[in-house]
Structure 1
Amino acid sequence: MSDSELTLTSPLSAAAIHERPLLALTILWHPDLGRVGEQFIGGTGAQTVELSRFLPLFQRPAAEGRGLGHGGISRDPVHIARDGNDGIRVSVPHSRMVVELNGVEIVDSVFVNAAQVEAGAVLGLGRSVLVCIHWMTCLPKDNAVDGLLGVGAAAIRARDLIRQAAASEAPVLLLGETGTGKEVAARAIHGLGRRASAALVSVNMAALNEALAAADLFGAARGAYTGAQVARAGLFAEARDGTLFLDEIGNAPASVQPMLLRVLENGVYRPLGAAQDVRSNARLIAATDQDVYAPSFNQPLLRRLENLVIRLAPLRARREDIGVLIVHLLQGNAVAQQAGVVLPPALVGALANYDWPGNVRQLAHVVGRAVMGLAQGESPSFAALVDAPRLPAPAGAAPVADAPAPSARRPLSAIGEPEVLAAMEACGWTILAASAALGVSRPSMYKLLAAHPQIRRAEQIAPEELRTALAASGGALGACASLLKTPAEALRRRLDALGLIAWPAYGRGGVPPELDELSGSKLKTR
């Protein structure tokens, strides 16, 4: 379980972190959108789950279980075997069904380590159904809170804590990256509490003017400062008997932090220029994506705010919820409903494998753009939708930069087979670029390639298969290497040795250095 799922107040945290998690399979996508979010929950120990058209049974809490049931899924099962170290081996059946792991087709058994399962492994079946393999640190339950969707442990725990916070009058601190739903959580806490009929007043602390911040929050008497022609009440007075939501508290002007501390300690404040204190009855909720534990933030104020802390996990840490969120966004989109728009499974797979730096907010924008394009008869690409130059690497794979930057070396044991394959695909099957993307040396990369069950040695591929792949790829070295699942450099040497290519201008074997690692190079076939 990641730190983002812990809270200072959760009674589950201390116990759950010492226990082995439950193996879970969640339906991320299905032609029947009503199936999205259904789950199969396994045990905590070593086990093998057979995933086929009919088994296992997926269900929602307190509902009947059903198999996946789609005709594109083989009756012969995919075996998902968990070992004693919480590694997972996925073995595909001998059938015509296409099986993909994190967006990469697999044809044999593939090992996924515990950390990659923690990040959520996306299994594609028959190019129609997506299932997320992940851990659960609690059992599924129906604890719905408006606006806070999700079937994974992080979402369930967040809703539990929101209900606990709503039953209390103590200050609440919401921590989470931008776009994780902090304001939604604040509204839920207010709406579920005894103050629901009173006002919820929100203020973005980062937007306050340093000179006027105190007056905005606490009010000011007439003449308290230049231009104060009349007395003003301030946001604390406006939120009386209700809730004051201090968004971006990490960016609060330093001048008002001691004043906020006084309100939290004594329940009173003094408007600027006033002769007497005013008692505040407002309930405080604060939120930030900043590091409030940094020395620049008033630490006594933090101690008062952290009475109840709720950490909202980023979307990349709750990949099992992406399908549920997409369905919700489609159902709330008028264009999608009027035009009957359904996202293609391939696009949903790309959405599920993305790490979403902008979290749920970014996902909502991307789904909205996709709906508009599809409603107009377009086939929007994922890269265009996220305004990215290339598809991101699947879950667990390091992102590929335009120019590889030096990175800390990683132990080979920390790199799983899907990550190696994804890096090679993303880097055009060039070893140097893939090794940089994975954070390993080139010699280490050779070891990873040699041990990989799907990556082939070019010298062991029959000439006839080479000719077929070369023709199918149109002479593009990277595309040919991808078809054959072999490194581009070794493939070029093999093709050259067999006389299957003719080098232009530079002469036989005389490719200039700038093309040697360029996967898009065109080869002239003999």
Structure 2
Amino acid sequence: MAAISDSEYTMSLPCMASHGRKEALLSLTIVWHSVLDRVGEQYFAPYGGEAIAVSRFAPLFVRPDGEQRPLGERCVARSPVLLQATDDGALKIVLPASSMRVQVDGVAVASETLIGPETLRTGALLRLGGGVLLCINQRTLLPTTNRIPLLVGVSESIELARRALCRAAGTDMQVLLRGETGTGKELAARAIHDLGRRAAEPFVAVNMAGLSDTLAAADLFGAAKGAYTGADSARHGYFGEAAGGTLFLDEIGDAPPEVQPMLLRVLENGEYHALGSSRQQVSRARLIAATDRELNSAKFNQPLLWRLEALVIRMPALRQRREDLGLLIVHFIRRWEAANGAAAALPIAFVGEMCAYDWPGNVRQLSNVVQRALLAASDTTPVLEELLGVPPAMPVVADAARRETPPRNRVKLGSISAQAVLRAMESAGWSVRAGALLLGVSRPSMYKLLEAHPQIRPATAFPPEELRVTLEGNGYDILRCASVLKTPGEALRRYALLHGLLVKERNKGAPG
């Protein structure tokens, strides 16, 4: 990921710097705005204090340069949405006396709504009107100036990671970076190097998974001429190339067993031998390793692990950084615009879907999907499920629907009976998208048919207690509950999560 300037608001807020703060704060982060330069601005207030009024004119969100300004978006009502902490740690949302549409985590709300404590910790998405998305979450740490602009974000988790990386940069200790794939471990390693005293020396990155078992020792430690077939001249190896700089060993868990004792020796006393040479060499390189899996097993040299773990820094997953998603999306849009020489945009509904997704591939996956979406947006409305490159939740139904009803064969809504709509939704497993394909109508048209149907109700029409009883009686199977209640499954899933009635892990296979 290339560095981006502070004009794109990747800095944290210098005016809000604080040390050792422990009381809970309520944070509002602009995740999307019609003016993309506003994305990433934040507002903080003590959690549990007075109700916060969110309207077109209040509160004042802080920019990285310290300037404060309200949302100022015409789609946001003058009459405020009130956010009030409850005694049990939840957040009550009181709607304004206006016609402004309000959604929480993609679910339209028409009355007073509660956001549970667990949802607040991960971040809830509040959509106001048709142009603003806010991430609401609890945190205890106020941001400081970002010294690592390569690591974009204003969330507490990325702030903690950046602070740890800055501390590591002030030492020569070995560092083990842990984190899922796509969380920016190589960027973190480069940040440690660039901020440390070795910044003028080489930074050498090696993917250990790409080393062959037979030549791994030569690749790492070098080889004398004639040490193996094809060695027509001496080679330095990665330790030699790194010299007095930094050697980054990515995917350290894939290090061939033959070289693990050699790595341990280098870490213990700095000594190593090139393959086929009796001359002892001494490494002055600093070692930083990274892994996306646990190494506490007999398959990995445990003394080596203990040496690597002099400092351990965990890079947060994207689902732990929900308030950073807008900034990252804007960054990828800006990068696209620079590469293609043209302005680009994404619809807010699609951005909302992206911000609600958990991103198992993290930043790398998000980057790929944004690029695919920008390609698709010129011709059609992007569909997240398709752009993720994974099969839809109802693959058989969806594929059959595509074959039986091509998109160009749209039918008039007045010709579709209520019985046909109900039959299509049952066949589609209560997936709106698959049901629309079966009927040969667009998704917006399908929503109109559902709203007009006498038997199908929106998820928000069910009191939380009734939904809880239905979930318990059906083994927390969303597909079954959707069929029982006759309501679209994905909206039901979001509504259940919003009220803390459904653990995400129980919901594998929910319809889209």
- The normalised TM-score by structure 1 is 0.71
Check whether the contact 2:455–2:486 (CA below 8 A) recurs between aligned residues.
no
Aligned in 2, Cα 1:34/1:401: closer, same or farther, shift over 3 Å? same
Superposed CA deviations along residues 174-199 of structure 1, whole A, max 9, x for unmatched, are 11111111111112222222222222
Matches for 1:10-159 after TM superposition, within 5 Å: 19-61=22-64, 63-159=66-162
Structure 1 CA distance for aligned equivalents of residues 78 and 275 of structure 2: 74
Superposed CA deviations along residues 472-516 of structure 1, whole A, max 9, x for unmatched, are 5279979933388359xx9xxxxxxxxxxxxxxxxxxxxxxxx98
Equivalent residue for 2:380?
A: 378
Check whether the contact 1:219–1:233 (CA below 8 A) recurs between aligned residues.
yes
Letter in 2 for 1:119: T
Equivalent residue for 1:394?
A: none
Matches for 1:137-286 after TM superposition, within 5 Å: 137-286=140-289
2:321 to 318, 322, 334: 318
Aligned in 2, Cα 1:471/1:156: closer, same or farther, shift over 3 Å? closer
Query: Structure 1: which 5+ runs fail to align?
Result: 1-13, 392-399, 404-427, 435-468, 491-514, 521-526
CA apart distance, 1:387: 2.9
2:456 to 455, 470, 480: 480
Could you tell which deviates more after superposition, 342-351 or 222-231?
Answer: 222-231
CA apart distance, 1:136: 2.1
| SS of corresponding position for 2:456 | helix
| SS of corresponding position for 1:296 | coil
CA apart distance, 1:364: 0.7
CA apart distance, 1:55: 1.2
Check whether the contact 2:457–2:486 (CA below 8 A) recurs between aligned residues.
no
Superposed CA deviations along residues 401-442 of structure 1, whole A, max 9, x for unmatched, are 999xxxxxxxxxxxxxxxxxxxxxxxx999xx89xxxxxxxx
Check whether the contact 2:54–2:82 (CA below 8 A) recurs between aligned residues.
yes
| SS of corresponding position for 1:473 | helix
Check whether the contact 2:173–2:311 (CA below 8 A) recurs between aligned residues.
yes
Matches for 1:432-447 after TM superposition, within 5 Å: none
Letter in 1 for 2:109: I
RMSD, matched Cα:
3.2
Dislocated runs of 4+, deviation >6 Å = 400-403, 474-479, 515-520
Could you tell which deviates more after superposition, 219-228 or 63-72?
Answer: 219-228
Equivalent residue for 1:387?
A: 389
Aligned in 2, Cα 1:53/1:387: closer, same or farther, shift over 3 Å? same
Check whether the contact 2:249–2:289 (CA below 8 A) recurs between aligned residues.
yes
CA apart distance, 1:135: 2.0
Letter in 2 for 1:304: R
Structure 1 CA distance for aligned equivalents of residues 250 and 302 of structure 2: 18
Structure 2 CA distance for aligned equivalents of residues 146 and 177 of structure 1: 21
Letter in 1 for 2:457: A
Aligned in 2, Cα 1:269/1:84: closer, same or farther, shift over 3 Å? farther
Equivalent residue for 2:372?
A: 369
Check whether the contact 1:267–1:279 (CA below 8 A) recurs between aligned residues.
yes
CA apart distance, 1:338: 3.3
Superposed CA deviations along residues 261-298 of structure 1, whole A, max 9, x for unmatched, are 11111111122232232100111111111112334322
- The normalised TM-score by structure 2 is 0.73
Structure 1 CA distance for aligned equivalents of residues 40 and 446 of structure 2: 42
Could you tell which deviates more after superposition, 93-102 or 330-339?
Answer: 330-339
Structure 1 CA distance for aligned equivalents of residues 447 and 177 of structure 2: 57
* Percent identity of paired positions between Structure 1 and Structure 2: 46
Letter in 2 for 1:303: W
Structure 2 CA distance for aligned equivalents of residues 483 and 275 of structure 1: 74
Query: Structure 2: which 5+ runs fail to align?
Result: 1-18, 398-423, 431-444, 467-482, 489-512
Structure 2 CA distance for aligned equivalents of residues 162 and 250 of structure 1: 21
CA apart distance, 1:21: 2.9
